[in-house]
Amino acid sequence: MMENEQLLSLVRSRAQSWLADSYDEETRRSVQALLDKEDPADLIDAFYKDLEFGTGGLRGIMGVGTNRMNIYTVGAATQGFANYLKREFAKLPQVKVVIGHDCRNNSRRFAEISADIFSANGIKVYLFDDLRPTPEMSFAIRRLGCQGGIILTASHNPKEYNGYKAYWDDGAQMIAPHDRDTIAEVNKVRDVADIRFQGNKQLIEIIGAEMDKRFVEALTSISLSPEIISRHHDMKIAYTPLHGTGVRLVPMVLKAFGFTHLIHVPEQDVVSGDFPTVVSPNPEEPAAMAMVVAKAKEADAELALATDPDGDRVGAAVKNNRGEWVLLNGNQTAILFVYYLITRRKELGLLKENDYVVKTIVTTELIRSIAERNKVELFDVYTGFKWIADVIRRNEGKKNYIGGGEESYGFLCEDFVRDKDAESACAMLAEITAWAKDQGLTLYQLLEKIYREYGYSKEVGVSVVKKGKTGADEIEAMMKNYRLHPLEEIAGSKVEYVYDYANLKGYSCRDKETFTLDMPTTSNVLQYITEDKTKVSIRPSGTEPKIKFYCEVHHAVGSGDLEAAEIAASYKIEQIKASLGI
């Protein structure tokens, strides 16, 4: 009880500081309304902490408060980032940044305010004239020789959210020490008076169509099968941007690759931060894919694609052997990408000894099997595309990146962008479909072929949502309990290895030996590998109020029945859920 009273007292004090004249009238009114409410839950959630950089940067619900996305939290983040950029690049005559934004409510406003703050600090700003995909912003940083960049987006989160992703000079989201040091600079901005809101318009340059042209031209250079595309150029592809940034760029890229028959979902081509046709604009969710699948079915298309609001994740649907439309998950699309990029390069004599692919530790191990059998080096990294970008940066000039992805519907086929790219992924999925068609296969049948060659795998993610301060405490308690009472058996199979990335320690249950995990830093992830190669990973989300469980099971098929393998794998997944109590 005493602890709750202390928290409420701290929160009220923080909220009352937002009633000062340095805050605008609308903000002061909203804060006072929270203070006047009988139930303090909303007040506590708005002020109990500051928004922090997680795996995806700054992200939160829009509204007043230190734990909300608003002009002051965005302003403090930008001022802190500006201070850090000026310190790190003090020897340069001119520090430069790129600013992009998605379709969300307030995104343009936050982008323009950020441009003012950067320019007020003497930093040259390239501001996109309208919404653009995250990967194009990453591309522009490198193309324009900038030292950093930001994009205002909450990716696939519901409409109440917005976010702020900060990028370094390599076009990738920041990692240590830059993320940590930027946070330190942001935390020094304790007063609104410290934020320079009055911009220098002479330092703000609007960019747009010319950068689009360069971006699209660069993406067409990664195509491996232009002749095959020309044979199947009129293949029907249904596509939706889910009201977001892919609305112009994805059609442009598909056309540039050579595809001529794109089917739109007109209602979802409407740019809107309210996402009027979906509950959540997340292509991972079947409901978000419903309209594009219906359109594909109506048109008898061969592929259905959807991108999230900031154009970095892609969802896909294809027809199975019975002509029914089925959704591919992020692991399946990643399998198709890696298989195609390696196999096609081998066909063309382009596969090199120094080629490599990257996946995250919670992404399917089938990618490892494909890479190892083809003697292609594989790097395993933490969740978050900044870690894939980190591998690309460290190997630049030494090894040749050919692709990397994660189970959460993100893939990158090129190294001149340093974040997941749904624009190139859409074009490459279309290219893979054309390549399969050239062999008399559908995309679904190509996936079946891969499973027969490398073994069947099924991956299921389960997210348990725990909102607010109490939810964060519950998640912390769950992780502590898993560490104090490690699982010894999962779904009838003994645990063989336990990897705790929080302390970079692995443990062999069979040999009773502890060993060190080779990773660049720690991460709050627990992973279990059982004797039958089942993999279970547990991690709190870095960007959302949830704890995630990733379950992966394997089944040999050869020339056998894939449906039987699917049934057996689904049964095993249910056993795993029971073992975990989820």
Active-site annotation, residues: 155
What secondary structure letter does DSSP report for 203?
Answer: G
In order of 45, 326, 442, 444, the CA distances from 322 in angstroms are 49, 10, 12, 11
List 302's β-bridge partners, or say none.
Answer: none
Cis peptide before 226 (omega within 30 of 0): no
The candidate with the shortest Cα–Cα distance to 16, out of 4, 2, 28, is: 28
Both structure tokens of 511: 């040999």
List 555's β-bridge partners, or say none.
Answer: 456
Strands (E) located in 329-407: 355-360, 377-381, 400-406
The candidate with the shortest Cα–Cα distance to 78, out of 199, 138, 164, is: 164
Whether the CB-CB separation of 424 and 417 falls below 8 Å is answered with: yes
List 54's β-bridge partners, or say none.
Answer: 57
Strands 237-240 and 262-264: parallel
What secondary structure letter does DSSP report for 192?
Answer: G
SS (H, E, C) 131-163: CCCHHHHHHHHHHCCCCEEEEECCCCCCCCEEE
Q: What share of the chain is helix, strand, coil (3-state, %, to 5)?
A: 40, 20, 35
User: How far apart, in whole angstroms, are the C-alpha atoms of residue 78 and residue 467?
Assistant: 27
In order of 245, 246, 541, the CA distances from 250 in angstroms are 9, 5, 29
Both structure tokens of 560: 């056998």
Q: What is the distance of C-alpha 129 from the center of its chain?
A: 24
Both structure tokens of 515: 């060993």
Q: Phi-psi region for residue 314, left (φ > 0), alpha (ψ -120 to 50) or beta?
A: beta
Buried b / exposed e over 112-141, threshold 16 CB at 10 Å, is bbbbbbbbbbebbbbbbeebbbbbbbbbbb
Other C-beta atoms lying within 10 Å of the C-beta of residue 370:
22
